[in-house]
Amino acid sequence: MHRILNVHLVPEMANPHDLAGHTSVVIDVLRASTTITTALNAGAEAIVPCLTVEEARQLAGAKSGSLLGGERGGVRVQGFDFGNSPAEYSSDRVRAKTIIFTTTNGTKALTRCMGAGRVLLAALVNRAAVCSAIAEDPRVDLICAGTDGEFSFDDAVTAGAIVDNLVIRGEEWQLSDAARICRCAWQSAVGSEGDRTRIVTALENSSGGRNLIALGMEGDLKLASQLDQLNVVPELDRSTWQIRK
């Protein structure tokens, strides 16, 4: 039997009704899903995603010992412990901590998946781990977070990296048209070997990548491009609204 593999190119194209009961994977490679994966790998206990700065401050006030992370316009919010650069989330700072994390695009994508069977987060750094976690599922929906409602190439090429890996594993997948174009993007911009230099170039050529370069954060593109390096699959527990390993 063919498994079904869909990609939703922006969150608005994912119908919550269609996701119900199946596996949803949210992709916001520059930078929320990369940063969350990095923080959990460094020993953070949980990440609490939220939409607004105000909500983040309220939650942090209610939970003693928690830390605040996130950005607006690419820059750390004033008074927050962390911005949205994966480099900031080192073991010595995050181990055993709960991090209240505000990310607009990623949180919007997560809210589409309230009825899904399970909700995972994927980036390039944990691509292989995510693929292993979903390889047996009958239906998987990859949801590209995009940027402010706009399609973004960086998330689509990451979705393509996942599609490519799942297909190469030899299982029979029925690809949606969007899954097909994302795989084309990965094959054309990077290639199945996953050449690191080409991944960086693909991210540089995306709208999200250009924004980071303009902010002097091109180092984050190199961190985000480290394909298959982290064996962590972040999963959203919707009953507690926490992301954990």
Applying CB under 8 A, the residues found at the interface with a copy of itself are 9-10, 12-13, 150-154, 156-157, 176-178, 180-182, 184-185, 187-189, 205-207
Give the span between the Cα atoms of 47 and 57, in whole angstroms. 14
DSSP for 76-132 reads EPTT-SB-S-GGG--HHHHTT-EEEEE-HHHHHHHHTTTTBSEEEEE-STTHHHHHH
Closest CA to 49 of 234, 193, 215, 213: 234
Task: Supply the minimum distance, in Å, between the C-beta of residue 173 and a copy of itself.
Answer: 13
Nearer to a copy of itself, 81 or 155 (CB): 155
Nearer to a copy of itself, 47 or 182 (CB): 182
Nearer to a copy of itself, 109 or 157 (CB): 157
Task: Supply the minimum distance, in Å, between the C-beta of residue 143 and a copy of itself.
Answer: 13
Task: Supply the minimum distance, in Å, between the C-beta of residue 59 and a copy of itself.
Answer: 32
Instruction: Give the helix ranges, DSSP H, for 142-190.
Output: 153-168, 177-189
Nearer to a copy of itself, 91 or 188 (CB): 188
Task: Supply the minimum distance, in Å, between the C-beta of residue 178 and a copy of itself.
Answer: 5
Task: Supply the minimum distance, in Å, between the C-beta of residue 221 and a copy of itself.
Answer: 15
3-class DSSP assignment, residue 46: strand
Per-residue HEC secondary structure of 183-241 comes to HHHHHHHCCCCCCHHHHHHHHHCCHHHHHHHHCCCHHHHHHHCCCCCCCCCCEEECCCC
The distance of Cα 183 from the centroid of its chain, to the nearest Å, equals 17
What six digits make up the tokens of 4?
């079904």
Task: Supply the minimum distance, in Å, between the C-beta of residue 62 and a copy of itself.
Answer: 38
Task: Supply the minimum distance, in Å, between the C-beta of residue 101 and a copy of itself.
Answer: 25
- The angle formed by the CA atoms of residues 226, 234 and 165, to the nearest 5 degrees, is 50
Confirm if 142 and 122 have CB atoms less than 8 A apart: yes
Nearer to a copy of itself, 41 or 206 (CB): 206
φ, ψ of residue 185 to 5 degrees: the values are: -60, -45
Nearer to a copy of itself, 61 or 149 (CB): 149
Scanning the structure block, which residue is given the tokens 């929320």? 32
Q: Measure the N-to-C terminal CA separation of the chain; round to a whole number of Å.
A: 30
